[in-house]
Amino acid sequence: MTESLLRARSLRKAFGRTEALRGATIDVERGEVVAVTGPSGSGKSTLLLCLAGILRPEAGEIIYDDRRLDRLSESERTKLRRRHFGLVLQFGQLVPELPAVENVALPLLLDGHPRRDAEGAARAWLERLGADQLATALPGELSGGEAQRVAVARALVAGPSVVFADEPTGALDTVSSEEVLGVLLSAARDTDATVVLVTHDNRVAASADREVVLRDGAVVPVPAELRP
């Protein structure tokens, strides 16, 4: 892996008087799985949301596939996320009124795909992730691990180049955590998707190709004892 798909330089982002990012710089290679770690409040989630085009940094630049992501309009970033990015959050963030199959199909429906095609693709992904029996279930009827499988299917249904995962196993027990992580990484690698995941869990970080450590809003060298 020698080609950077995603590059961020000197990112700064503040919320009121609190600086979440203070010059964070990161390169992510095409096809790589990168774990972003660090103590609570170090800016991990803010960095991920900036890289995904959800938040706009106040300074610095983000380049995705040779495009300045930070210079795109909100509508342009939204379109890019629908077609190129997948997102998995800690608690799934599924739409409570929609059954699993419609939750998974949502990115395709929002991008204008016919409902039959979108739901067909959604069912195929649920089956691929061993969750086809959940297709008609509402989010409130799912366990934490089941809901995260549905969220992973939704993140992958549009064939994204990059999957961003923010503490995807943080609310799960050990067994469910290992299952969901295995499903996410296996499916991403099968589709050649790049993965950027935020985690506090050393076991999750160990599953990545590389670890990036954030402290006080900036990337710092990985401690010697954590290097491969």
H or E element, residue 27: strand 18-29
pLDDT digits (tens, 9 = 90+) for 93-138: 899 999 999 999 999 999 999 999 999 999 999 998 889 999 999 9
Of 91, 164, 172, 157, the residue nearest 122 (C-alpha): 157
- Provide the H-helix boundaries in the chain: 44-51, 74-84, 100-110, 115-128, 144-156, 174-190, 202-206
Q: How many CB atoms lie within 10 A of CB 203?
A: 12
> CA Rg, the chain, in Å?
17
What is the three-state SS of 133-188?
HHCCCCHHHCCHHHHHHHHHHHHHCCCCCEEEEECCCCCCCHHHHHHHHHHHHHHH
pLDDT digits (tens, 9 = 90+) for 160-180: 999 999 988 887 888 888 888
Q: Which residue has the tokens 């210079």?
A: 71
Residues facing residue 220 across a β-bridge: 213
Q: How many CB atoms lie within 10 A of CB 1?
A: 12
Beta strand 18-29 with 85-88 is unpaired
Torsion-angle region of residue 100: left (phi > 0), alpha (psi -120 to 50) or beta? alpha
Residue 1 — very low, low, confident or very high, per pLDDT cuts 50/70/90? very low
Q: What is the mean pLDDT of the chain?
A: 91
The pLDDT score that the predictor gives to residue 173 is 84
CATH topology of domain 4-220: Rossmann fold (3.40.50)
Q: Which residue has the tokens 């799960």?
A: 172
The pLDDT score that the predictor gives to residue 224 is 56
Beta strand 4-15 with 194-198 is unpaired
CB 92, CB 172: distance < 8 Å = no
Of 176, 174, 188, the residue nearest 142 (C-alpha): 176
The pLDDT score that the predictor gives to residue 221 is 82
- pLDDT of 223 strictly over 80: no
Provide the whole-model pTM.
0.91
H or E element, residue 61: strand 59-64
- pLDDT of 222 strictly over 80: no
Amino acid type, 162: V
Q: Sign (positive/negative) of CA torsion 13, 17, 22, 26? A: negative
- pLDDT of 10 strictly over 90: yes
CB 106, CB 98: distance < 8 Å = yes
Average pLDDT over residues 127-153: 92
Q: Which residue has the tokens 């954590």?
A: 226
pLDDT digits (tens, 9 = 90+) for 34-49: 999 999 999 999 999 9
How many Å apart are CA 109 and CA 132, to the nearest integer?
19
- DSSP assignment letter at 225: G
Average pLDDT over residues 17-34: 95
